[in-house]
Chains A and B, each alone.
Chain A
Amino acid sequence: DADVTQTPRNRITKTGKRIMLECSQTKGHDRMYWYRQDPGLGLRLIYYSFDVKDINKGEISDGYSVSRQAQAKFSLSLESAIPNQTALYFCATEGQGPDTQYFGPGTRLTVL
């Protein structure tokens, strides 16, 4: 079983809809991250969390929110999706450190 799982793997939605992407991990890591990947722009950090009570904005947090429900779960929400949020979204986890970040399989989100 994968250490970092993301659901859904693919999602197509319409402009204005609320969307939640979920991430779960079995690595026992405290730190979790959300990134988006766009062609030509690489991976960019949206939000990160060092523990359940610690949430921080990354470089591109506008239009997104997150929830850390437990050590193992970190969700990303798009309150009102817009087409330029079409991208690949990755969750990552990291042990105490900083240390190596391990990525999930990704969610491909398309906003029409």
Chain B
Amino acid sequence: EDQVTQSPEALRLQEGESSSLNCSYTVSGLRGLFWYRQDPGKGPEFLFTLYSAGEEKEKERLKATLTKKESFLHITAPKPEDSATYLCAVQAAGNTGKLIFGQGTTLQVKP
């Protein structure tokens, strides 16, 4: 069964304290792995898509990496405005378009 597990569930950091969020997945052929950011009461906002092991993408203080079993979202020198829930989702091979989401990691960055 296709499955996505994110850890930790919650993470509290001081401003400037770098860390990583983990997304472990099992899927019958990976078509793509997606990272989204979700603010309270809002819809998920797209951050990155990764397609193959070894791929990396960066955006400001965020860097996403991918292996055959997991993805990491590295946050370098976070700021309070990075506080949000970060969602990971995978799309299996085939053409269904279906995304399987993890439960998310809620990040709080304190000034």
Contacts and interface: CB of A to CB of B under 8 A. Distances in A.
Interface of A: 4, 31, 33, 40-45, 48, 50, 56, 58, 90, 94, 97-98, 100-106, 108
Contacts of B87: 42-43
Contacts of A45: 98-99
Contact of B98 (A40, A58, A97): A58
Contacts of A104: 43
B44 A43 contact: yes
A90 B101 CA distance: 13
What is the predominant secondary structure among interface residues of chain A facing chain B? strand
Nearest to B89: A43
Interface in B56-111: 87, 89, 91, 95-99, 101-104
A101 B99 contact: yes
A3 to B, nearest CB: 11
B22 interface: no
Contact of A90 (B43, B98, B104): B43
A94 B31 CA distance: 15
Contacts of B98: 45, 48, 58
Nearest to B99: A101
Contacts, number: 55
A105 B43 contact: yes
A100 B34 contact: yes
In the A-B complex, the 5 residue pairs with the smallest Cβ-Cβ separation, listed nearest first, are A103-B43, A43-B101, A42-B101, A42-B103, A98-B97
B91 to A, nearest CB: 6
Contacts of B54: none
Nearest to B88: A42
Given A42-B103, A50-B97, A97-B97, 15 more contacts: A31-B97, A33-B99, A98-B31, A98-B97, A101-B34, A101-B97, A101-B99, A102-B46, A103-B36, A104-B43, A105-B42, A105-B43, A106-B41, A106-B43, A108-B41
Contacts of B41: 106, 108
